[in-house]
Structure 1
Amino acid sequence: MKQKQYIFHSLAIEIIIVLLASMIAFQVCNMLSIRISFLPLVMVAGYIMLKLLYHLCIILARYIVDAIPTSLLASFKKCASKKAHPLVASPISNYEEIQKKRMELFHYEYQHEQQQYQQQKEQEEDAKLNATLRYTRDTFKRFDLDETEIYQICESVRYFATNRQVLSVTEIHIKKRTSLTQISLKNFAWNIAFQYNIGRDMTTSFVMATFAEWFANSTFDTVRKNLRTTTGRHKIEIDENILSKYLTYGK
């Protein structure tokens, strides 16, 4: 394709030069009263002069282009490119700006949803813990424990449910009552642990540390083995749904 264009341009230039040479030859012959037989010679001379002038113009143009600083030429090309494509750059810029705003909006909405979810989860956890503590107070109010001892049990339950660990050091010692059996206390500990998916080992440590006088002569393995008793009647029974009547959030 480029070769064809080059051939076409060369032919066009040659034709123009020949025509100009013919016109100049006729004018020179008329002005100088030269015989018509010398017309071809005058045309050849005019052709040669025009051809030399053409090549001289090309050489001068190359010299001028080479003399222009590279930085200035690059700036000129850059400006020409911007003027040549004003409608192409603008839509791309607008599209990137729109995409950026969409990403910012998406990020904001995601953070807002995460914050709402976290707040809702914290509210549910607080409600669940408060229900667990109400269950604890209601359970031990039925026995002859004083308020300080019930308070200490609630604090041990709070630590156990929140941290999945045992509060081993307590300020108030809970005295042993004959109305409360080991089975009832183990059932109570299992009921709490079940709500928070706490394992048997930690639950065993919790009941033995919180009600130490009841388990003074018991081994860890023995308590762990019989942590849950469903046969017979006991003051505190196994109940997987102890919080259903205490939960109040969402109502």
Structure 2
Amino acid sequence: MDTQYYMNLEDQFGAHNYKPLDVVLNRGEGIWVWDVDGNKYLDFLSAYSAVNQGHCHPKIMQAMIEQARKLTLTSRAFRNDQLGLLYKELCELTHSHKVLPMNSGAEAVETVIKAARKWGYKIKGVPENQAEIIVCENNFHGRTIAIIGFSTDEHYKDGFGPFAPGFRVIPFGDIKALEDAITPNTVGFMAEPIQGEAGVIIPPSGYLREARAVCDKQNVVLILDEIQTGLGRTGKLLAEEHDGIEADVTLIGKALSGGFYPISAVLSNTDVLGVFMPG
């Protein structure tokens, strides 16, 4: 069965929400992948950074196999002997205070929107239902209904309205625009350290450091979406380290599991994630 056979299967039975390259992969090892016709490729994409560690990393695979033989799922109705260890390791690795794991990058973004809004109401004193979050033009934070509502790519929004209010959009890399957009109801500023989907757009040097200072001055939560840039993709563990800062909330995902299963995490200081209670 050749490439065309598998492409025809996808076209016939799958929703047409992606348009991938006409290459059908069936094996990967380290930096290499092979297609069904036997061609070998050097994988520069790394699944948009989900396999920063390389395809089928043997240590990650072995850990997954060992755990799967003992226990695969408990649900949050019970505790288990691994979750606390994950929390501790992630906090120590990233200098965070609290962790909230999720299943996908978009789910992490949705969670931080909820957290920032609730922080605004409970801690900052913003009037109920008036919270605003500032985002950047050409952003990509996912494809859920709330997230595409503040996208500036009309293709992502076509046919999916109405959208949730509460977002202000400013140019990426423009500190003056950030300063001007902040109001007493601003609870958060969310940005990618490097915009990926928009075309690998790197902001001016020192931009994140200046954004950190503005958010400190105005009591605004700085949220950095490092789902693509985090975990080694830019040469440091987190891209924010290039500017020597720590965000109030950092989002990671993709490479967090080495490509073995969907996972993300909201990394935060105690003030922001501390607003969540059971229920």
More relative contact order in 1 or in 2 (CA 8 Å, sep 6+)? 2
Instruction: Decide which structure has greater strand share.
Output: 2
Higher gyration radius (CA): 1
